[in-house]
Structure 1
Amino acid sequence: MGPPPEFATLRRLMEARMSKAGRREYVQVLRLLEIFDIDDLHVVVTKALQLGAVGLDAVKHLVLCQVEKRPPKLDLDVYPYLPRADVATTSAARYMSLLSRDAA
């Protein structure tokens, strides 16, 4: 029996993003099976896909958190190729002006 279908999705995304390097990273993800249980890794790969955290570092971090029963803390600074989101602080005055404009 082969790996669950989520592993194929992870491989496809890693190869699409990083070509040969993505293939090598995927092999490293599979090598995590030497240390961790397939069920733990399956849960983590599914979670990584949901989070859009497609990479060896993210999968390794998530599986360690899964085994150690602690919440993950993914640091986006180590993923410089991901687009940055610039979210400003909400201004209550601007929000209220939008509400009053809609009421008119």
Structure 2
Amino acid sequence: MNISFKNIVLNVLFNVKWLLRSFAMTTFGQRLRSLVHEHGIRREELASYLGVHWRTIYHYETDKREPNISQLKALADFFNVSLDYLVGRTDDPTPPKRSSSSQEPGS
């Protein structure tokens, strides 16, 4: 088998690129776009739920804008995922368990 040095280098570079991509953090926009696609909903539907224009959802998906905290919480509830998953800090979408007696701080 004749393996050239060039082929070995190209193979190593490909593997390093793949590894770096697998450790790259997912952006909020990428995660939102994925969730919208997975749930088969339209931007207009999600925009109506949040009380924003559909173009705002597009800007969220392309990371040109970021939602405020109340919109982030609404999105996490809508898709039944954790905030950390929504913003790309974890790959585990499981939302935290809520107890009926728990209250938000300051209430």
- Please say whether Structure 1 and Structure 2 have the same fold, judged by a TM-score greater than 0.5: no
User: Which of the five TM-score ranges fits, normalised by the shorter chain?
Assistant: under 0.3
Greater helix proportion: 1
TM-score, normalised by the number of residues in structure 2:
0.27
Higher relative CO (Cα under 8 Å, sequence separation at least 6) belongs to 2
TM-score, normalised by the number of residues in structure 1:
0.27
